[in-house]
Amino acid sequence: MVNCSISLLTQGFNSALKIAELTGFINSLNVKIDRLNKTELNSGIKHLKNSEITNDIERKKNLCRSSIRVFYKGYE
């Protein structure tokens, strides 16, 4: 009985994935995730560029820390 239920659940899950692929839902979700990752990366790069042009040492440190947090965010 349990094996039958697991098999049915697996088949249902696989069917749902196939429908999502066919309708483009998974592709649009992947595009949104990629866009979000690029936004994070651009934010970190912007912090680094701003740290280069500022003369305030404390601001420079804070911007560098912020960029480090952004770059390591994906590894948490």
Would you say 69 and 47 are in contact if contact means Cβ atoms under 8 Å apart?
Answer: no
The pLDDT of residue 9 is 60
pLDDT tens digits for range 21-75: 677 666 676 666 677 677 788 888 888 888 889 899 999 999 899 888 888 875 6
**Block residue for tokens 């899950």:** 13
- The distance in angstroms from the start CA to the end CA of the chain is 40
Would you say 40 and 75 are in contact if contact means Cβ atoms under 8 Å apart?
Answer: no
The pLDDT of residue 2 is 43
